[in-house]
Amino acid sequence: MSFDSVLPPSYAKRVELNDEVHARPPEILTAPCRVSQLALLPNADEARDAPWTALCALAQRFSVPPPAPGANHYSADFGPFRLKWERHGEFSRFMVVVAGEEPEPFGAAAIHALPADWLKSLPGQVIAAAHVSLLASKEVPLAISEISRRYFRDHMLVGGPLAGGQAHAFTDFRIHGDGFSRFLIFDGGMSPYQAGRLTQRLLEMETYRIMALLALPVAQEVAPQIGTQERELAEISAALVEAQEADEPLLLQRLTRMAAEAESRESRHRFRFSAAAAYYELVRNRIQELRELRMEGMQTFGEFTERRLAPAMNTCKAVATRQEMLSQRVARATQLLSTRVDITRERQNQALLASMERRARQQLRLQQAVEGFSVAAITYYVVGLVAYLAKGLAASGFALRDELVTGIAIPIVALAVALGVRRFRRRMADHD
């Protein structure tokens, strides 16, 4: 799309971002009608565009325009039914709408309008499925007990007046024999847009409720593992108080293993717990948007959620918090013990250096002593040679006293040898 040239250049995705708020409008529903919804989790090896491919096949069968390539939502009138599809971050949602009333609200569900072979071949796993029967009635035509007996197998119902009293909705939040939960709505004068929006909120509440609960089995699985590591960490922390130097490497090895396990577990489940909190917030938002009114003797959707869903979410939140705190405590203990081990090693290194220095000094003193002995020995032999020379000269007729010559030679030779040894040692040091 091009704009007036007087404007600066537009951001590349400006129009796409602006139109996002209009991308998924609610279906326009006029009572009486029937609605069915399927929410599917993708299989692990499933291509991301698998639902899109299935929709294209269905569109071709009914000769209707297929979804655009890469689309995240799609809505079309297939004649006998209307179909709406949305791709979300973790699941895909299909909604089927069939106009008209049946003798039994849930006798001929909208889902049966889809070709059975196509429905069976849909990719993914069902995470949520619900039927909605939208009936035109300003008042609830039956007693609540009779509604429960006829349509909900005598289960306890949840619901009451919605949309400020313009509608009544009831459900038992149970999966019935066909694999679907049920919502019965009595439309007391809503506009088609309001009816569509109310139905969408109820179905989103149902889907997000189940998606939020995906974290509960994870929390129940992880909690004992966290408890085991918390006890082990307490044991290690107590052992640190009286640990000897020989024990520290083993304790550090245990802490390192615990840190790796805790970090691995937290990284695996961090998204699931964060997603659960986000879905729970969406459930609460959808309930608030229902604008419920209390009906005597019946739980509202908000009350049921707070009493049944909130404890599960609190459990997930508590486990996520424990997991995060455990990682932090293990990291602190590891850092503390690593510091102690480093100090011990530094002390050992200093002791080793001091020992090496002592040995070097001893070697130096020994070397000096050896040099002194060497000077004495060399002086002894050289003076001996001088004595032999003096005696030989005296015997040859020279007027020399060999004893005097030998005595005078001793300090001279000793000084010369000492200077020679020192000069040799300096040359060796300079060479090194």
Indicate whether 313 belongs to any domain: yes
The reported pLDDT for the residue numbered 333 is: 83
Beta-strand pair 92-99/167-171: unpaired
Indicate whether 235 belongs to any domain: yes
The reported pLDDT for the residue numbered 286 is: 95
Same domain for 171 and 47? yes
Q: What does the alpha-carbon distance between residue 24 and residue 93 come to, in Å, rounded to a whole number?
A: 12
Same domain for 40 and 186? yes
Q: Decide: 169 and 163 in contact? Cβ < 8 Å.
A: no
Half-sphere exposure of 131 (CA within 13 A, CB side): 28
Residue 230: closest CA among 249, 252, 272, 258: 258
Indicate whether 228 belongs to any domain: yes
Same domain for 260 and 316? yes
Name all contacts of 230-238 with Cβ < 8 Å and 24+ positions apart: 230/322, 230/326, 232/258, 233/258, 233/326, 233/329, 233/330, 233/333, 236/333, 237/333
Residue 239, classed as helix, strand or coil, is helix
Q: What does the alpha-carbon distance between residue 195 and residue 28 come to, in Å, rounded to a whole number?
A: 7
Domain extent at residue 426: 368-431
Domain total in the chain: 3
The reported pLDDT for the residue numbered 44 is: 84
**Alpha-carbon distances of 38 from 44, 84, 269, 329, rounded to whole Å:** 19, 11, 26, 43
Same domain for 201 and 228? no
Residue type, 300: T
Same domain for 421 and 345? no
Same domain for 193 and 94? yes
Same domain for 292 and 374? no
How many CB atoms sit inside 10 A of residue 288's CB?
A: 12
Structure tokens, 229: 């590591």
Indicate whether 1 belongs to any domain: no
- Of 195, 210, 225, the residue that ends a domain is 210
Indicate whether 376 belongs to any domain: yes
Residue 95's Cβ-count burial label (10 Å; 0-12, 13-18, 19+) is buried
First to last CA, the chain: 80
Same domain for 177 and 258? no
Same domain for 70 and 101? yes
Indicate whether 84 belongs to any domain: yes
Q: Decide: 400 and 394 in contact? Cβ < 8 Å.
A: yes
Same domain for 250 and 326? yes
Buried b (16+ CB within 10 A) or exposed e, 247-262: ebeebbebbeebbebb
User: Which pTM does this prediction carry?
Assistant: 0.78
Structure tokens, 426: 């300096």
**Splitting the chain (432 residues) into consecutive groups of 10 residues, what average pLDDT does each group show?**
68 77 80 96 86 94 92 92 94 95 87 95 95 92 92 94 94 95 95 95 96 96 93 85 74 85 90 96 95 92 92 95 90 80 77 84 75 73 75 71 74 78 73 64
Indicate whether 7 belongs to any domain: no
Q: Decide: 284 and 205 in contact? Cβ < 8 Å.
A: no
- Of 187, 210, 233, the residue that ends a domain is 210
Q: What does the alpha-carbon distance between residue 257 and residue 252 come to, in Å, rounded to a whole number?
A: 9
Q: What angle do CA 330, 332, 338 make, to 5 degrees?
A: 100
β-partners of residue 181 are 130
Indicate whether 395 belongs to any domain: yes
Same domain for 166 and 297? no
Q: Report CA torsion sign: 307, 311, 314, 320.
A: negative
Q: What does the alpha-carbon distance between residue 304 and residue 344 come to, in Å, rounded to a whole number?
A: 59
- Of 292, 318, 352, the residue that ends a domain is 352
Same domain for 259 and 176? no
Alpha helices in 290-401 (DSSP H): 301-304, 310-395
